[in-house]
Amino acid sequence: MTEMSRNSTQEGGQPGRIGIGLELDATHLKILEVLRENGRISVAALAERVGISRANAYTRFEALRADGAIKRFTAEIDHVRAGLGITALIFVTVRQQMWRQFRTQLAQMPEVEYCAITTGQHDAMIQVRVTDVAAVHAMVTDRLANIPAVKATETVFILDEVLRRPYVLPSDRGPGRSSRRPPADPPAGPARSTGAARSAGSAGPTGSAGSAGGEVPLGMMRFVGVAEGRAQLQQDV
Amino acid sequence: MTEMSRNSTQEGGQPGRIGIGLELDATHLKILEVLRENGRISVAALAERVGISRANAYTRFEALRADGAIKRFTAEIDHVRAGLGITALIFVTVRQQMWRQFRTQLAQMPEVEYCAITTGQHDAMIQVRVTDVAAVHAMVTDRLANIPAVKATETVFILDEVLRRPYVLPSDRGPGRSSRRPPADPPAGPARSTGAARSAGSAGPTGSAGSAGGEVPLGMMRFVGVAEGRAQLQQDV
DNA sequence: GTTGAAATTAGTACGAA
DNA sequence: TTCGTACTAATTTCAAC
């Protein structure tokens, strides 16, 4: 019950129902806004805060839940208080066509809180929470290294979590501000060579940046070079 | 109310109360285990599932909340259904001594779901959810690039979220398995040159790995080289 | 820390607009 | 669909043990 939807077959929900099952209107979004900050609010209070009747609130609440728009309700805890003061990110390069094994192994690692498949230099990023720094080392060397699917890892520690929102919503942008950029105001800066893949082996976000004070000439999206054998990997994902 | 504790002053909670306020016992952890999968469970039902009396459950529940061990209750949603189908990670290099500005600007970006300060090549990682790929581009070029504190960015897309647990707990390891590695079984592989920082400019998690089939000799922790000016940055964090 | 009873609130099922 | 109301069931609170 911890794995996420893959948009394909498999997994929790009814396999028959693919595609959007429920068009979310402004009221639905309002409900999600309230639930985001108070997941334990009663449906009666929710109805009042959203400005609809109780019956309507029950109907919509149930619909959101049944449709899968709301996946579950949970708590947010202070990891330090819970005894897991160390958080690390481990970027993993996965051997091609061993994704299934990698996923299976991951599910059996209780210290893993999050894992995402990414584009770029690495194939996956996993976030772990453990008691101490040594546990990170043990995790990487003993457990990850023993998975044949894992080709290489790169570890980084999290020093501080500046911001964490339970989730973001389209309505957060406000009624006035569109999510798409207004037609005017084309992006400044040199050469829109957006897709310029970095040659594998060269590194870092340094490089071409002009060191002119306030300007940020390399704010451009910089896709990291595709790792070796990544073309095949993509098919597997 | 969306920013997280900094362990220092500032922020929501009482500034006077530093340090652990409540020692969590096995029962507390059990409560957190139940709440993790069902944040809307009634305290009565919670008591039954944990195996304690109602009153006890209420006391502990309230204590966990008041102590801050439980920060809030929230829902987990399907971002695709909510209309935010694109998730990206943006790794940011921050100009030294401009952290405060960076943090302030971040709080005003509704598409940012998570931001963490990290060690390694970059200084921060932010996760954004938007409607389409173009919005990522707009976010990076228009909004992040306009923050003087932002020196450089590197963007990566999330193709799939394999695993997401609301939180992990020390008790997840099970009663039998310790979090620390057993004294026997030293890590295999060549040369425990753990701290070997990669020279800035060289790249990739590839490299020294012996290509022998099953063995993963470079499971070792590989800390990425410190970015330029990072020594000063650390003080600021 | 536990149990039991009262007061409150939540959830459900209807008919009407 | 949405609303309003009444009915039933459950939860929370408070008390004594």
Coil, helix or strand for A115?
A: strand
pTM for the structure as a whole: 0.76
B159: closest CA among A103, A225, A234? A234
Residue with tokens 């020093």: A159
- Which protein residues, judged by their CB atom, are less than 7 Å from any atom of strand C? A 42-45, 54-55, 58; B 52-56, 59-60
Asked if A137 lies within 8 A of B221 by C-beta distance, the reply is: yes
The verdict on B74 touching A (C-beta cutoff 8 Å) is yes
B119: closest CA among B225, B236, B235? B225
**How far is residue B178's CA from residue B170's CA, in Å, rounded to a whole number?**
9
Q: Which residues pair with B93 in a beta bridge?
A: B152
Q: Tell me the angle at which helices A26-37 and A54-67 cross, rounded to the nearest 10 degrees.
A: 80
- A77 chain-B contacts, CB cut-off 8 A: 32, 69-71, 167
Q: Which residues pair with B152 in a beta bridge?
A: B93
Residue with tokens 């964090």: B237
Distance, CA of B165 to chain centre:
12
Asked if A163 lies within 8 A of B115 by C-beta distance, the reply is: yes
Residue type, B159: L
Q: What does the pLDDT profile of chain B (237 residues) look like in tens digits?
A: 434 444 333 333 343 344 557 789 999 999 999 999 999 999 999 999 999 999 999 999 999 999 999 999 999 999 999 999 999 999 999 998 899 999 999 999 999 999 999 999 999 999 999 999 999 999 999 999 999 999 999 999 999 999 999 999 999 986 644 444 444 444 443 333 333 333 333 333 333 333 334 444 444 455 554 444 444 444 443
Asked if B83 lies within 8 A of A170 by C-beta distance, the reply is: yes
Minimal CA separation from B169 to chain A, in Å: 7
- A203 chain-B contacts, CB cut-off 8 A: 121, 200-204
CA torsion A74-A78-A84-A89 (nearest 10°) is 80
CA of B54 to C1' of D15 (A): 14
A153: closest CA among B216, B77, B84? B216
The pLDDT assigned to B139 comes to: 96
Q: How many residue contacts between A and B have a Cβ separation below 8 Å?
A: 433
Asked if A3 lies within 8 A of B163 by C-beta distance, the reply is: yes
| CA angle (A14 as vertex; B113, A41 as ends), nearest 5 | 45
**How far is residue A181's CA from residue A149's CA, in Å, rounded to a whole number?**
41
The verdict on A208 touching B (C-beta cutoff 8 Å) is no
Residue with tokens 């990487």: A140
Phi-psi region of A68 (alpha: psi -120 to 50; beta: other; left: phi over 0): left
Coil, helix or strand for B118?
A: strand
**How far is residue A21's CA from residue B35's CA, in Å, rounded to a whole number?**
28
Q: How far apart are the first and last CA of chain A?
A: 20
Q: What is the pLDDT of residues A33-86, one digit of tens each?
A: 999 999 999 999 999 999 999 999 999 999 999 999 999 999 999 999 999 999
Neighbours of B58 (CB within 10 A): 15
Coil, helix or strand for A41?
A: coil
For the residues of B37-99, what is the DSSP string, one character each? H-TT--HHHHHHHHTS-HHHHHHHHHHHHHHTSEEEEEEEE-TTTTT--EEEEEEEEE-TT-H
Q: Where are the beta strands (DSSP E) in A42-187?
A: 70-77, 86-94, 112-118, 124-130, 150-164
Asked if B189 lies within 8 A of A145 by C-beta distance, the reply is: yes
